[in-house]
Structure 1
């Protein structure tokens, strides 16, 4: 699906103008006939293009957007470039975006973080108190699994039907076909031990299903295929994907996530935490006018030790 599918869940406007990594490139959009949303999309596309042009980015650790609690860095956006491996932050942010879109349409769905999905499918997860209602009245649970060898798989659980959907963009192995249902059932057994009163909901027959799907044809598109599988499965459409669609989806995902840039306003671009000019010392970048915490890990030891009130951040030194 294209990023038009996320209009309802996007912020109304992006953050205030920030200088481009290439100061010589204009980011102004002057067509009065365009809507605010269309202008924001054009600004996002320009920023993405500039991020993807840089080979080594000293500012790649700077945060650029915050998507439902997941902070995205310039480096994360760079990972969406063609032939690059997608980061766990991109996987979590986009699946959370998908979940919120589905919830807006009345679908009861939950997103599991990569860390949670990994622990469950590795047989290492111990249910916590907040897991009590994880399966209650839930139609879908979605999560990305980062298997050994830096490869992404997709896990979709349908609690009401006892379905375990597992999708490996390179093709499911015999080992996965055996272990995925066993690891999920182990998790269910742990839930039963901790929350026996919920047995009527979670104690059921669970079956693994693997729908027919396309296989990736390169060594770097597994994450993109998983995110597209999530979109297509929830839309009940074919899981057929072409390389051209995969490459186009990279751009679509980047634009969708960049539309949340406004949620970084009032946050330090380096650490991602909120800045409070009344309660803590801050340092202002003289170029982009953003405020950073006056700490060595945010502005560098020189700025911190010299007691400067202004400096030029790494983003504006390139």
Structure 2
């Protein structure tokens, strides 16, 4: 009798346990269903939407990693099934583009460090995109195009220009553009930058880019890095720099340093330096012991900062325009030691430190500060320089013009793809066409095969 009761009790307990397990399983399934997100669904687009188009040429070309992954922005003009017709801001149309190659475009919103609460900074950020500033930039562009305009200052009168682009003259004497590392930056902020002794075309291009021209025309090439209008536009006040211009400018700095110094410096591009910072060591084939200075700029969550390695001194310098915390210095030390150990360097008693330097006063100038820090390091100068917003605007102007002035020879390159040969040309002979206004040369296939017997005007001159 007792054994029968015991079996019934065990049976009921087993059933309760099974029911309880089923309830838990159903509950977990409902939770998972709520978390499920439909995968590989085509995005929804509508007419007049602003979109970006995937650069399909990038993965198909050697060295394509230096090109932009997305082109645009464009405006959707028509949609039919899986295809969409789009048009860029210059009126160039692209028909039957697969919507899987498109994504929604969102305007950049500058991020402001949480520690900055100054109303002056907020005013500066908002003022960078006001109509008044755009009008001033357009006015300056017009004055630059006029080649016969007298840019000298007579007495106390001067041509009204934006704070970062005024003419710096000394009573009848001309002065060259101030280098970014010059100690008289504060004076340049008050009276501007002299642009008389530099090519008008360079300054016209910068002003056009700053005024909103965004066309896919090559302006400069520094080593493997190609600079277009959109890249120069990123130097405009209130904009964040991108890796292309940062690596190109650092290439110029290191090249000039190695010309005049016996102890060479070595540049690690931002892609490789960021990988080192994240412990993703790449196969970089170089010997650190050959160089006195190894430097590179890291991108950490859209924030740029400089890392300088002295292999023979066994130390690393971290320069962050927002300040260096103890945690960040320790992280830098650990990553540097791990990387140098992998390269066969002794890492005992390795140290990581920083130097006194100014802090950025806005949320978009971290890239400019990183380049300025690198310039000061290579010149063996202190990190003290004017860091007000107007002074940073002067640095932006100087860096943008330097990229165009120190360009490699691009006269024999296509000003659309930056290459000698047209990779999409199926004929044995590459056909070229020149703009009848600016004289730039293009592959006919790159500019959609315009009639060779008609006048041709490139998108930069339209």
Which TM-score band (shorter chain)?
0.7 to 0.9
Contact 1:165 1:208 in 2 (8 A): yes
C-alpha displacement of 1:41: 4.1
- Give the Cα–Cα distance (whole angstroms) in 1 for the partners of residues 304 and 289 of structure 2: 27
Q: Let me know the Cα RMSD of the aligned residues.
A: 3.1
> Which residue number corresponds to residue 40 of structure 2?
none
Superposed displacement of residue 281, structure 1: 2.3
Partner of 2:433: 283
How far the C-alpha of 1:220 sits from its partner, in A, is: 0.7
1:91 and 2:246 matched:
yes
Equivalent residue for 1:185? 337
| TM-score normalised according to structure 2 size | 0.54
| 2:279 match | 123
| Number of equivalenced pairs | 275
Question: In structure 1, what is the Cα distance between the partners aligned to 2:382 and 2:308?
Answer: 16
Length-normalised TM-score, structure 1: 0.76
Cα displacement (A) at 1:202? 4.5
Deviations 1:70-99 (A, max 9, x none): 221111111111111112111111111111
**Equivalent pair of 1:65/1:264 in contact (CA under 8 Å):** yes
Tell me the CA shift for residue 113 of structure 1: 0.7
> 1:267–1:214: structure 2 CA closer, same or farther, 3 Å change rule?
same
Which residue pairs with 1:225 in the alignment?
Answer: 369
Correspondences of 1:249-268 after superposition (within 5 Å): 249-261=395-407, 263-268=409-414
Equivalent residue for 2:298, pick from 145, 160, 181: 145
> Matched residues in 2 for 1:217 and 1:23: separation?
31
Say which structure is richer in helix.
1
Distance across 1 between alignment mates of 2:230 and 2:453: 27
Q: Which has the higher contact order (CA 8 A, sep 6+)?
A: 1
Larger Rg, first or second structure (1 or 2)? 2
Counterpart in 2 of 1:247? 393
Structure 1: state its 5+ residue gaps: 1-20, 193-200
Q: In 2, distance between residues paired with 1:274 and 1:23?
A: 33
2:203 is the alignment partner of 1:48: no
2:321 pairs with 1:169: yes
Match for residue 358 of structure 2 among 214, 219, 238: 214
Between the aligned partners of 1:127 and 1:58, the Cα distance in structure 2 is 36
Q: Could you give the per-residue CA deviations for residues 93-151 of structure 1, whole angstroms, max 9, x where no partner exists? A: 111111112112214101111111111111112324x23x2x12311111111111x11
Distance 1:83 1:23 in 2: 22
Partners of 1:247 and 1:23 in 2: CA distance: 20
CA contact (8 A) 1:68 1:97 kept: no
Q: Does 1:136 align with 2:289?
A: yes
Note if 1:26 corresponds to 2:171: no
Gaps of 5+ in 2: 1-137, 151-172, 178-195
